[in-house]
A = this chain, B = another copy of it.
Amino acid sequence: MARNMHPEETERRILDSARRLFAEKGYEKTSIQDILNDLNLSKGGLYHHFKSKEAILDQLNDDEWAVASHLLDELIGRKDMNALEKLRTLLVSAVDAPDHLDLVRSQLELLKDPAFFTANMRFWSTKLPEYFLSIIEMGVQDGSIPTTYPKEAAQLLALLGNYWLMPCFYPADRDELEHRIRCLTTMLNAIGVPAFDEALISQAVKGLTALMPEEVAKSV
């Protein structure tokens, strides 16, 4: 009974458990029953909060996006960094955050589903570029990102970072991934967006290697 008096806490426990189980077993192989067993919760107790497993995943992704948006808002207001440093901080948050990487990894199988894949591609081509664009435009203003292609750079960071760099879509071993990231670095430098320095390249290689399908990662 006590639990029902704190519905937000129950919701938080369901999300935490789902996040952990999705990361361990993958989204597809995790059942609602697994989450119920993990929490010692009744079916009704869960369905009161989420009408399906998909709704739980949507909430986890929405929460992630809320964190990313909050980080962006916070960065935009900071006076101690130029825009290029802010852009790098955003990119580091994408490749060096264990929780974020776990959530992405748990959805790798799901990305083979056409409807889910198409929805992701749409997000990466519409909403995500706007997220990068606000910082890049600040960089044009403060001179730290001297590009005449702010919109294009924002679109390419979102598309190439989430699709082309991903070993699940474009298979690669660790060295091939590093080569690919250096290719992107050279291209972005050429259009005046020096987002990737050696530190970020290392972090990106490490983060993306963690997103390899297991059989490949093991052989590396």
A187 contacts which chain B residues (CB < 8 A)? 187-188, 190-191
**Shortest Cβ distance from A156 into B: residue:** B164
Q: Are B183 and A149 in contact, CB atoms less than 8 angstroms apart?
A: yes
Where chain A touches its partner, the secondary structure class is helix
A114 contacts which chain B residues (CB < 8 A)? 114-115, 117-118
A125 contacts which chain B residues (CB < 8 A)? 169-170
- Chain B nearest CB: distance from A168 CB in Å? 11
Q: Are A183 and B121 in contact, CB atoms less than 8 angstroms apart?
A: no
**Shortest Cβ distance from A126 into B: residue:** B170
Query: Given the known A-B contacts A115-B114, A156-B164, are A186 and B190 also in contact in the complex, defined by CB atoms under 8 Å?
Result: yes
> Bound complex: CA of A163 vs CA of B156, how far in Å?
11
A152 contacts which chain B residues (CB < 8 A)? 179-180, 183
> Bound complex: CA of A164 vs CA of B158, how far in Å?
11
Q: Are A170 and B186 in contact, CB atoms less than 8 angstroms apart?
A: no
> Bound complex: CA of A152 vs CA of B125, how far in Å?
21
